[in-house]
Amino acid sequence: MRKTCLKYVHELAKQDGRVVFIGSDISNRDLAEFSAEFPDRFLMEGIYEAHIVGMAAGMAMTGKIPYINTIATFLTRRCYEQVLVDLCMHDLPVRLIGSGGGTVYAPLGGTHMANEDIGILRVIPNMTIIAPCDADEMARLMPLTLDWPHPIYIRLAKGRDRVVSSDEKPFRIGEAIAMREGEDVLLITTGITTARALEAAEQLGNAGISAGVLHVHTLKPLDNEAILDAIYGVSSVLTIEEHRVIGGLGSAVAELIAESDAVGSIRFARLGLPDVFTEELGSQNEILNKYGLSIAGIVEKARDLVGK
Amino acid sequence: MDKRSRELRLQVLHVLEKSRRGHIGAALSVIEVLRVLYDDILRYNPSDPDCPDRDRFILSKGHACIALYVLLADKGFFPQEELATFCDFESRLGGHPEHVLPGVEASTGALGHGLSIGVGMALAARMDSKDWRTFVLVGDGECNEGSVWEAAMSAGKHELDNLVVMADRNCMQCYGATSEVQVLEPFAEKWQSFGFSVRECNGHDAAAIGQNLKEAPFEVGKPSMLICKTHKGMGFSTTVDNPDWHHKSRLTDEDLRGLREQLEADT
């Protein structure tokens, strides 16, 4: 997914002289062609994310479209005030490409896991937040980032994630995609949880539970209309995210439901990481499995919710 | 103090007339630096404030904005009458400057942001082979922020000789003397070691400020730093070097009358 994303930054740079790439002391892997072809628009900067975000803001104020890539934790938490004030208050077209959204860097420990990135960015006006489900979807997203007039946070997954998206359904920023229809329970997902939810929905179907999957790649602006439309057709809704349950997709959907006519008539639950700093290392998969985000965990939670 | 500096300070008092509040000490500290920038150095067009070839000026120590508002109004970026709306509910003139106001390049006030923005602007100008320049005014207290030094490192690395930074070195911050809160010396040497060509001058001497800024870049291939030695609250015996005047929120008629009388006595 990262490779696809950075390849497209290079493609966009070929198309448009405003595109600039900024890295924060990251590996040159996947970037060598860009740096060779456009050395003047390729900036490999030091380990100072706050400065880089401010600098990108200054470039965007001058007509550039900077794409910044570094590790998601540092690109969201370390420079939060610069993101809020310099990018979002000025509503500038800077693209933050966060490597390792969620638990990708599990073996590196808690300091490197971005399990609150969506939550802390979602509260900032003008911010756009997108978590594609696979590399193919990333390829559909990237061309649209060129002219999107607001800051964007792109949450990168681990890579080599199973491809579940298809070009049969158009990709538009801010529009959720119905991946599967269902009548009993709606699984609302983002990022790589979409693939897991699709498998879980298949197993639920085998058990006589009709499960739909709504892929919310854009967490902000949230596709309220599509989510509410989908909710009105089912009796249970389960959100599934690789993020703490506070502040992310589940919170956003809960807020939507609480203010809708559906409140009180549907069963609702959030599946995600609990409100703790996880202590496990290992792998992304092991962490997700432990906290119920495995396919079996999703099936179990959905069955509990539906009561079947 | 010459006539121009007195008139600008009178305008500062005018801004305070209705709001009865503001970061007075900082505004009085930077007013000569801003006066020189807008009178003699910066390239701009008040009737076309966004014209692409303008020089960019960022007041990184945004709390000194009353001085900026006075200069922008003086040059016609917005009507003089708007000065009296400072901090009003629907005003464009807030307690820290925001980019909605013509002439304000970036919303500042959260300290430690402006120099990074300036570095980005200077880099963009160089990418586009443009000859406009970027000027950033930072406070000495602001230089407690690590991000200032991140930006300084980056400016040095990129050899941005189209970037001119000025430090308002009044040796005071909110609590008191900078030496009590966070020692900054050796200040000039710090900037030199980060890759800047550094000069120092009296920050209330318009001729000295102007002469130095006209000679920027001080060295080819290096960003310039002009350390402007100033006094916080300069111009009034009650406010000068007095941390009590860092920010005031309940100025009385008597306070304002006292300040005005000092200016009149100075003529």
- Tens of pLDDT, residue by residue over A77-89, are 999 999 999 999 9
> Do both A14 and A141 map to the same domain?
yes
Domain that holds residue A258: 177-306
Say how many domains are in chain B.
1
**CA angle, residues B199, B36, B144, in degrees to nearest 5:** 50
Residue A167 resides in a domain: no
- Tens of pLDDT, residue by residue over B176-217, are 999 999 999 999 999 999 999 999 999 999 999 999 999 999
Average pLDDT of the segment spanning B91-100: 96
CA distance A147 to chain B (A): 19
Closest CA in chain A for residue B124: A59
Share of chain A above pLDDT 70, in %: 100
User: Which of the residue ranges A288-302, B36-50, B93-107, B253-267 would you say has the lowest mean pLDDT?
Assistant: B253-267
Chain B residues whose beta carbon lies within 8 Å of the beta carbon of residue A86: 106, 113, 116-117
Q: Nearest CB to A85: which of B113, B115, B146?
A: B113
Starting at the earlier edge strand, list the strands of the sheet with A128-130.
Answer: A42-45, A19-24, A65-71, A95-99, A152-155, A128-130, A218-220
Residue A214 resides in a domain: yes
CB B92 within 8 A of CB B39: no
- Tens of pLDDT, residue by residue over B119-154, are 999 999 999 999 999 999 999 999 999 999 999 999
CA distance B215 to chain A (A): 25
User: Count of residues for chain A?
Assistant: 308
Chain B residues whose beta carbon lies within 8 Å of the beta carbon of residue A60: 120
Share of chain B above pLDDT 90, in %: 97
Q: A262 falls in which pLDDT band (50, 70, 90)? A: confident
Cα A296 from chain centre: 22
Residue A164 resides in a domain: no
CATH number of the domain that B48 lies in?
3.40.50.970
Closest CA in chain B for residue A42: B127
> Do both A96 and A213 map to the same domain?
no
> Do both A76 and A145 map to the same domain?
yes
Mean of all residue pLDDT scores within chain B: 96
Residue A289 resides in a domain: yes
Does the pLDDT of residue B267 top 70, yes or no?
Answer: no
Domain that holds residue B62: 3-266
Starting at the earlier edge strand, list the strands of the sheet with A211-215.
Answer: A177-180, A211-215, A185-189, A236-244, A267-273
DSSP B14: H
CA distance A131 to chain B (A): 28
Question: What is the DSSP annotation of B114-126?
Answer: HHHHHHHHHHHHH
CA separation for the pair B42, B219 (Å, rounded): 19
CB pair distance less than 8 Å for A45 and B154: yes
CA distance A30 to chain B (A): 23
Residue A170 resides in a domain: no
Q: B264 falls in which pLDDT band (50, 70, 90)? A: confident
CB pair distance less than 8 Å for A59 and B124: yes
CA distance B115 to chain A (A): 8
Does the pLDDT of residue B222 top 90, yes or no?
Answer: yes
Closest CA in chain B for residue A59: B120
Q: How large is the angle between the packed helices B114-127 and A49-61, nearest 10 degrees?
A: 50
Closest CA in chain A for residue B155: A55
- Tens of pLDDT, residue by residue over A128-169, are 999 999 999 999 999 999 999 999 999 999 999 999 999 999
CATH number of the domain that A54 lies in?
3.40.50.970
Which of A123, A155, A187 is at the close of a domain? A155
CB A81 within 8 A of CB B110: yes
CB pair distance less than 8 Å for A48 and B153: yes
Residue A102 resides in a domain: yes
> Do both A146 and A10 map to the same domain?
yes
Which of A125, A155, A185 is at the close of a domain? A155
Burial of A81 (0-12, 13-18, 19+ CB in 10 A): middle
- Tens of pLDDT, residue by residue over B249-258, are 999 999 999 9
Q: Nearest CB to A86: which of B52, B117, B146?
A: B117
Q: CB within 8 A of B151, min separation 6: which ones? A: A51, A54, A55, B115, B116, B118, B119
- Tens of pLDDT, residue by residue over B32-57, are 999 999 999 999 999 999 999 999 99
Give the residue from A22, A51, A86 with the most B CB atoms within 10 Å of its CB, the best one to mutate.
Answer: A51
> A70 CB near a chain B CB, below 8 Å?
no
Say how many domains are in chain A.
2
> ipTM of the predicted structure?
0.97
Residue A93 resides in a domain: yes
Residue A14 resides in a domain: yes
CA separation for the pair A68, A154 (Å, rounded): 10
> Do both A139 and A18 map to the same domain?
yes
